[in-house]
A and B are shown apart, each in its own frame.
Chain A
C-alpha cells in the first residue's frame, strides 16, 4: 500500500470538486487510510473528446456506492475507468495500491468484477453454463472445473434465485430474469469488489427493485463493496450507503445520501427545482421535483 500521497490527493479532489463539494464531503473524507479502489486525478475521454479532467474518487471499502448525475455527465465513463475498461489519458486508477492497468487481467478479475451495460449471451447457452463462465479467472487450462467451482456456481444461482432456471436457455428468459443471470455470473466470480453499470436500465419497476434488493443483500450479508451507476436519484438515495454526484465530469458532492441529497444539490446537478421530503418507507431523502408548468396542486 502506498499511502504517501493520500493527503495531497484529498486536497486535489476538493479543489477539483469546487467549493460546494468541500463542506458536503467533510464527513466522508475524514479517513486517510487508503481504500482498495481509487482514481487519482484521472483524465478520461474517447479519442479526442475529453469527458472528465483531473477527477479523483475513492470508493469506501464495504460501501454500496452509487454514482448519479445527468446524462453525459461521465458517470458510466468513470465506472469504465474504475473497472479498467477505459484507460485514463492522465492519472491512474489504483486497485490495492497498484495501477490497475499494469496488473494482469486475470489477477484483477479475481478482485474486481463488472456487470457491463450490455453483454451478449451466446446463442443457445443455458443459464448454468453462462453462470459457470464467471469462474473463468479462477480456472486454468488444466484446472477447468473444480468441485469448488461447481459449489460456487450453485450458490450464486441460489442467491439470485435463478437456480430453477439452470437448464433453461438464456434467450428464452424475461429481461428481469436475464439480468439476474448476469448478476449471478458476476457473483460466481467471487470478487470482493463488484461494479454494475446501470443494472436497472430497461427493466420495469418491479424488476428494478428486485435487482436493487439483490444488490443491497449482497452488500449487507456478504460484505462486498458495490459500485453502481443508477439513473433514478430516489432509488440511489434509498439503496446507497455512499453517493457520488457528478456533473460535467466533476464530483459535485459525495457522502451518505441523507447528508448529500438537498434541494440545492439537485438543482446544481440536474438543473431541476425540487423539495426533499423524508421517504415514508425508508426514511431516506425523497426528491419531489417542482411542477414546471404552473398547473396542478402546489405543495408548500
Chain B
C-alpha cells in the first residue's frame, strides 16, 4: 500500500496523512524559510545568516532591527503571502476546471486586475492605494463575468477555460488601449506595475494580505476534501454527498479573492499560479488539488525568484515577475522531462 496513514485518537477522531505530501510540505517550508533569511540578509547592507536569525528573534542591534523590521521583513512577508495566494488560487481553479490551463492567470483574472489598476493609473492618476483598490475590483468583476459566461448547468471545466481565454484576450486589448491613451509618466508607471514587483513593499501591503489569508485559508483548506471529490465529475461528487454548486461558489470566490488581492499587492506576477500547483503535485506524486504543498511551493518559488531578481544580475535588478516565468517554467519543463524518462507520465 502507498504510504497513506492516519493519525487517530482514542476518541474516534482521525486525520489522513500522506507521508510523502507531508514531507514535501516540510522540506519546502524549511527551504522557503532559509531563502527568506538569506533574502533579508542580502542587499546594500549585507547581514550574515546568524545575524538575521538573531535579529528576527529580537537580539539584533538597533541598526539591524531597523533594516530587518522596517525594510526587508515586510518585503519578504509580501513575497511569501503573495506566492502562497497565487499558488492557492491556481490550485483551486486548475482543480475545478480539471485542466492546468484553467489557471487564473490564463483565464483572465490577472488581466482583469491589470485593467482595474491601469484604469486608476491612466484615467485618474490615482494613489498607490487607489491602484490596489482598482486591481481588486477589476479582478472581482472579471471573476463574476467569467463565471456568468461559463455557467451552463454548472460550470464545465473546458467551457471555463475557453471563456476565460476569450475574456483574457479582450482584456489584453483593453490594457494596450489604456497604455496608448496614457501620457509618458503614467505609461511608465503602468508598465512598471504590469511586470510585477516586490520593490518598496512594506507593512501597508502585508496587513491586507495577511488578513485575507487568515480568513480565506481555513475556508479553502476545509473545502479541500470536497474539491478532491469534484475532480471526479459533478455527478460522482454529488453522488458522494458533496453539495456541488455551493462548494464551487465558495472555492471560486476564494480563488478570485486570492489572485485579486495578491495582484493588488505586487502586480500581475506571471506563472506562479500556473506552475506552483503543477510543481507541487509532481513532487507529492499524489492526485488532487494538493492545496498545502502548492501554497508552500508558491511562497518558496516567489522567494527564490525575488532573490534571483535582486542578486543574480549584478547591478541590474530585474522585476520579480520576469524571473518567476523563467524559473518556474524551466523547473516545470525539467520535471516533465525527468518524469517522462521515469515513465510516470
Contacts and interface: CB of A to CB of B under 8 A. Distances in A.
A and B pair up? yes
Interface of A: 46, 83-85, 104-110, 113-126, 128-129, 133-134, 136-137, 139, 141-147, 166-167, 186, 189
Nearest to B226: A136
Interface of B: 1-2, 4, 6, 8, 12-16, 98, 153, 222, 225, 228-229, 231-233, 235-236, 238-244, 281, 285-288, 344
Contacts of A167: 1-2
A180 to B, nearest CB: 16
A126 B286 CA distance: 9
A120 B238 contact: no
B12 A119 contact: no
B287 A125 contact: yes
Contact of A136 (B13, B231, B241): B241
Nearest to A121: B232
B240 A134 contact: yes
A122 B231 contact: yes
B231 A120 contact: yes
21 contacts: A85-B235, A113-B239, A116-B236, A117-B235, A118-B233, A119-B233, A122-B288, A124-B281, A124-B344, A128-B1, A133-B228, A134-B240, A136-B241, A142-B14, A142-B15, A144-B6, A144-B225, A166-B1, A167-B1, A167-B2, A189-B239
Contacts of A119: 232-233, 235-236
A126 B243 CA distance: 25
Given A142-B15, A145-B15, A136 B238 contact: no
Contacts of A109: 239-241
A158 to B, nearest CB: 15
A107 B241 contact: yes
B233 A136 contact: no
A189 B240 contact: yes
B2 A136 contact: no
A145 B6 contact: yes
B15 A144 contact: yes
A49 to B, nearest CB: 13
Given A85-B239, A105-B241, 9 more contacts: A85-B235, A116-B239, A119-B232, A120-B231, A122-B228, A122-B232, A145-B8, A146-B8, A166-B1
Given A105-B242, A108-B241, A121-B232, A144 B14 contact: yes
A116 B233 contact: yes
Nearest to A139: B225
> A-side binding surface: helix, strand, loop or mixed?
loop
B342 to A, nearest CB: 13
A120 B98 contact: yes
Contacts, number: 104
A254 to B, nearest CB: 25
Contact of B241 (A85, A106, A128, A147): A106
A39 B304 CA distance: 60
Contacts of A116: 233, 235-236, 239
A114 B2 CA distance: 27
B14 A129 contact: no
B232 A129 contact: no
A209 B225 CA distance: 35
B30 to A, nearest CB: 26
A104 B288 CA distance: 24
A281 B241 CA distance: 40
Report, nearest first, the 6 A-B pairs whose CB atoms are least far apart.
A109-B241, A106-B241, A116-B235, A145-B6, A137-B241, A114-B239
Contact of B232 (A105, A108, A133, A166): A133
B178 to A, nearest CB: 39
B59 to A, nearest CB: 39
Contacts of B344: 124
A84 B236 CA distance: 12
B233 A120 contact: yes
Contacts of A108: 241
Contact of A126 (B2, B222, B235): B2
Contacts of B286: 124
A115 B233 CA distance: 12
A136 B4 contact: no
B259 to A, nearest CB: 23
B12 A143 contact: yes
B31 to A, nearest CB: 24
A127 B195 CA distance: 44
A271 B149 CA distance: 43
A128 B2 CA distance: 9
Given A109-B241, A137-B241, A122 B287 contact: yes
A142 B13 CA distance: 6
Contacts of A143: 12-14
Contacts of B4: 129, 145
A79 to B, nearest CB: 11
A112 B238 CA distance: 11
Contacts of A46: 153
Among B235, B242, B281, B344, the most chain A Cβ lie within 10 Å of the Cβ of B235
A119 B232 CA distance: 6
Contact of B238 (A85, A118, A141, A145): A85
Contact of A133 (B1, B2, B240, B243): B240
Nearest to B244: A105
B13 to A, nearest CB: 5
B240 A123 contact: no
A114 B232 CA distance: 13
Contacts of A145: 4, 6, 8, 14-16
A117 B239 CA distance: 12
A123 B2 CA distance: 16
A125 to B, nearest CB: 4
